[in-house]
Amino acid sequence: MSPISTRRHGDVLIVLSNNPPVNALGHAVREGLVAAIEQAEADDAVKAVVILCQGSTFFAGADITEFGKPMQLPMLPQVVDRIEACTKPVVAAIHGTAFGGGLEVALASHYRVAVPSAKLGVPEVKLGLLPGAGGTQRLPRAAGVRKALEMATSGSPISAKEAYACGLVDRLIEGDLEQHAVAYAEEVRDVRPIPITSARDDKLEEARANPALFDDFRKEQARKFRGFDAPEANVKAIEAAIAKPYAEGVQDERRLFMELMSGTQAKAQQYFFFAERKASKIEGLPEGTQPRAINKVGVIGAGTMGGGISMNFLSAGIPVTIVEQQQDALDRGTGIIRKNYQATAAKGRMTEAQVDQAMALLTPSLSLDDLADCDLIIEAVFENMDVKKEVFGKLDAIAKPGAILASNTSYLNVDEIAAATSRPQDVLGLHFFSPANIMKLLEVVRGAKTAPDVLVTAMQLAKRIRKVAVVAGVCFGFIGNRMLIPRQTEANKLLLEGATPEQIDRVHVEFGMPMGPFQMADLAGIDIGWHRDPTRVETIRDALCAIDRWGQKKGAGFYDYDDKRRPSPSPKVQEIIDDFRSQAGITPRDIDDQEIVERTLYSMVNEAAKILDEGMAQRASDIDVVWIYGYGWPVYRGGPMFWADTEGLDTIVEGLQRQQERMGDDFTLSPLLARKAEAGEKFTR
Ligand code: 3H9
């Protein structure tokens, strides 16, 4: 049965799509839409058309699962052209998300009405693409060039209200969408000429008078676009919309679309779209496992981590009791939470009333006893096993039966922590990433005894607080931090052998990371995990810590920092490195960038393969989700596993073997990686 049906309401033909879950514009939908328009043309009694979708949303875009397969006609550009060419007015009635191809259907329609909660956007750039069904040509004509540039290059949607304000939507509908859309169609059914977006020029005039606008926009956005192909292609296509007649602009759009589509970046970004959605699925749980209710959360520790964690729940409307040992630390912690909210409000992303609402949900306390009625308690205290065990022992006596007890540990053994309680089935790790109110990643650490419903609860809760959760097994550092270890080990050794922090960091930044290992160490604080004995200097890091070079917070670490936290190479650090070299009898050699890639990035892939082999990650794509959302691995490279596949696993193995001698005992080749390379297999496809 076609997902597209039609029904008449007076002289309006309602074209209804029913293609759950998101009304993606797959082949049957495209075919049905064209047939429905033909039907409207053929029937004299039909004077206007309304395109409407059932379910939670208007068309959310092309069907991404069809990408890479042979395309079946009619293609979307043909469909939208057919809609625009209809001789009877077509009204798109929008609710939910009119995204990508969905917005292109709406743009080709002659009128657009929307409910106020609707969102309109062209997220193609996030899939490494551009709107390829006339969107780059029609959007600037309907919404203005600046708006089109912003929407197309960010991929972020705008609200229906904003869309109304910029002319993208003709009317906001309060009340029943179908009824009002039909009434609107009746209002406009005799208006001639029918407004055709592709024939409009009025909103292009300003940009035509100021073509420098495009280069200005490129400069303004250069940092965000760095490394990505798709944003520039989007800009170029919109530039064509003002520089060329519509028919030629569309050809440019098609060419640029096809170029992007055949590239690795689009494949990586589309892979990642599905990887993110797969991550929430847990293998092997009993069917129908129901989550526990979480209506109140306790957080132990009001430091940076505890405060950030609390904000996630407060923002989602879930009450939090936050516990500290000392009044001043508690006051400081709650003060920072308020300040963070106020900073968000100052940027216009929250109202003062919402700040007050969130803060009203927060109960500061000096006593763990106040956590007795919490459904979930998250410990975010000092990273030390004895301290954690003591806290969990106490919680065991205080928490109500069935409460979930979580540790925010970033390395420690969750099973050992769970064993400090009489209810290990209720214990798991919830590893938030700093800043915890902002970073999207949540590692859900599954202990040997963690109950299925506890896991299901954690995954659902993650959605509620807008995190992307990935399940990890119990091992040192779980998925993300465990992979950092070989990278840092090799980076440190490379320093001794002749590389500089600047060179190693540059290689990572050029690869697309937000920063390299030493920049990251300076940001996080070099003193984290340091033994705190300034007389014990065994490593370069010990030497830096001993002289108070703890990173950005001290204005000095691997780099020197000015008062605006801008880094510069440090002669002092070079002196320390030179000292270590001479003590170890190392003559520095020239190290090329490729060696840095092989010893740091390839060795991360090797560790990831071990993680996968040991079952510490459920699937290769979960590892990619961790590194993209937790550490800023460039999404256009798809994550470490996808990237390894594009490099070729045999190339990775060869590179590692080339470096094996230099990496010494710190390195063993993952048997899984070796096997897959040998068999010509991939991790991700
Ligand atoms: C495009 O339009 C190109 C054109 O310009 C040119 C063509 C020539 N296709 O996210 P959810 C699945 S490119 C296929 O969990 P939510 C998704 O995998 C497209 N499947 O729901 C998931 O499946 P499962 C431009 C899709 O409520 C299920 O639907 N459009 C598509 O949190 C539910 O998804 C986009 O990029 C799709 N387009 O969020 C929009 N979309 O249940 C992409 C979703 O098996 N989609 N699925 O895991 C979204 O942003 C969100 O899905 C949306 C709903 C906001 C719509």
Interval 499-508: pLDDT, tens = 999 999 999 9
Q: Kindly report, residue by residue over 93-126, the tens digit of the pLDDT.
A: 999 999 999 999 999 999 999 999 999 999 999 9
Among 562, 583, 604, the domain boundary falls at: 583
Q: Kindly report, residue by residue over 149-208, the tens digit of the pLDDT.
A: 999 999 999 999 999 999 999 999 999 999 999 999 999 999 999 999 999 999 999 999
- Structure tokens belonging to residue 291: 């989550």
135 Cβ inside 6 Å of ligand 1: yes
Measure the CA–CA gap between 530 and 522, rounded to whole angstroms. Answer: 13
Judgement on whether residues 303 and 343 belong to the same structural domain of the protein: yes
Nearest residue CA, atom 55 of ligand 1? 97
Nearest residue CA, atom 51 of ligand 1? 60
Mean pLDDT over 536-542 rounds to 94
Place of tokens 């094996």: 660
Judgement on whether residues 315 and 239 belong to the same structural domain of the protein: no
Pocket test for ligand 1, best of 27, 64, 159 (most atoms within 8 A of CB): 64
Among 422, 445, 476, the domain boundary falls at: 476
| Structural domain boundaries, residue 386 | 297-476
Report phi then psi at 114, rounded to 5.
Answer: -150, 150
Question: What is the model's pLDDT at position 366?
Answer: 98
Among 247, 262, 277, the domain boundary falls at: 262
Mean pLDDT over 499-528 rounds to 96
Q: What is the position in ligand 1's atom list of the atom closest to the CA of 278?
A: 48
Q: Kindly report, residue by residue over 208-245, the tens digit of the pLDDT.
A: 999 999 999 999 999 999 999 999 999 999 999 999 99
Question: What is the model's pLDDT at position 140?
Answer: 98
Question: What is the model's pLDDT at position 685?
Answer: 78
pLDDT reading at 529 higher than 90: no
Contact 322, 362 (CB under 8 A): yes
272 Cβ inside 6 Å of ligand 1: no
Mean pLDDT over 261-271 rounds to 97
The amino acid present at 274, given as its one-letter code, is: F
Question: What is the model's pLDDT at position 639?
Answer: 98
Judgement on whether residues 379 and 442 belong to the same structural domain of the protein: yes
| Among 435, 133, 57, 64, residue whose Cα is nearest residue 276 | 64
Q: What is the position in ligand 1's atom list of the atom closest to the CA of 104?
A: 5
Nearest residue CA, atom 1 of ligand 1? 62
Contact 44, 88 (CB under 8 A): no
Provide the CATH number for the domain around residue 323. 3.40.50.720
Pocket test for ligand 1, best of 22, 29, 234, 278 (most atoms within 8 A of CB): 22
Domain assignment of residue 665, yes or no? no
Domain assignment of residue 28, yes or no? yes
Question: What is the model's pLDDT at position 34?
Answer: 98
531 Cβ inside 6 Å of ligand 1: no
Question: What is the model's pLDDT at position 176?
Answer: 97
Mean pLDDT in the chain?
Answer: 97
Q: What is the position in ligand 1's atom list of the atom closest to the CA of 122?
A: 25
Nearest residue CA, atom 54 of ligand 1? 22
Judgement on whether residues 32 and 149 belong to the same structural domain of the protein: yes
Domain assignment of residue 493, yes or no? no
Confidence of residue 528 (pLDDT cuts 50, 70, 90): confident
Interval between CA 60 and ligand 1 midpoint (Å): 6
Catalytic option among 66, 84, 104, 678: 104
Judgement on whether residues 316 and 443 belong to the same structural domain of the protein: yes
Contact 642, 624 (CB under 8 A): yes
Interval between CA 154 and ligand 1 midpoint (Å): 17
Interval between CA 59 and ligand 1 midpoint (Å): 9
Provide the CATH number for the domain around residue 223. 3.90.226.10
Nearest residue CA, atom 49 of ligand 1? 60
Question: What is the model's pLDDT at position 656?
Answer: 98
Judgement on whether residues 407 and 525 belong to the same structural domain of the protein: no
Indicate the number of domains in the chain.
3
Domain assignment of residue 419, yes or no? yes
| Among 247, 215, 94, 58, residue whose Cα is nearest residue 149 | 215
Q: What is the position in ligand 1's atom list of the atom closest to the CA of 99?
A: 30
- Structure tokens belonging to residue 610: 């071990």
Interval between CA 22 and ligand 1 midpoint (Å): 6
Mean pLDDT over 396-412 rounds to 97
260 Cβ inside 6 Å of ligand 1: no
Judgement on whether residues 99 and 215 belong to the same structural domain of the protein: yes
144 Cβ inside 6 Å of ligand 1: no
Confidence of residue 358 (pLDDT cuts 50, 70, 90): very high
Q: What is the DSSP letter of 515?
A: S
Mean pLDDT over 347-354 rounds to 94
Judgement on whether residues 329 and 426 belong to the same structural domain of the protein: yes
Mean pLDDT over 130-158 rounds to 98
Judgement on whether residues 465 and 522 belong to the same structural domain of the protein: no
Q: Is 90 helix (H, G, I), strand (E, B) or coil?
A: strand
- Residue 104: active-site member: yes
Contacts of 121 (CB under 8 A, 6+ apart): 97, 98, 99, 100, 103, 151, 155, 156, 157, 158
Judgement on whether residues 226 and 370 belong to the same structural domain of the protein: no
Report phi then psi at 290, rounded to 5.
Answer: -95, 140
22 Cβ inside 6 Å of ligand 1: yes
Contact 269, 127 (CB under 8 A): yes
pLDDT reading at 284 higher than 90: no
Domain assignment of residue 137, yes or no? yes
Q: Helix 76-84 vs helix 27-42: angle between axes, to the nearest 10 degrees?
A: 20
Provide the CATH number for the domain around residue 530. 1.10.1040.50
Interval between CA 61 and ligand 1 midpoint (Å): 7
ipTM of model over 0.95: yes
How many percent of the chain have pLDDT more than 90?
98
Catalytic option among 38, 84, 124, 497: 124
Q: What is the position in ligand 1's atom list of the atom closest to the CA of 62?
A: 2
Q: What are the Cα distances from residue 493, in Å, to 157, 481, 594? A: 46, 19, 15
Measure the CA–CA gap between 4 and 19, rounded to whole angstroms. Answer: 8
Domain assignment of residue 503, yes or no? yes
How many percent of the chain have pLDDT more than 70?
100
132 Cβ inside 6 Å of ligand 1: yes
Interval between CA 459 and ligand 1 midpoint (Å): 20
pLDDT reading at 379 higher than 90: yes
CA count, 13 A, side-chain hemisphere, 682? 12
- Residue 497: active-site member: no
Interval between CA 131 and ligand 1 midpoint (Å): 14
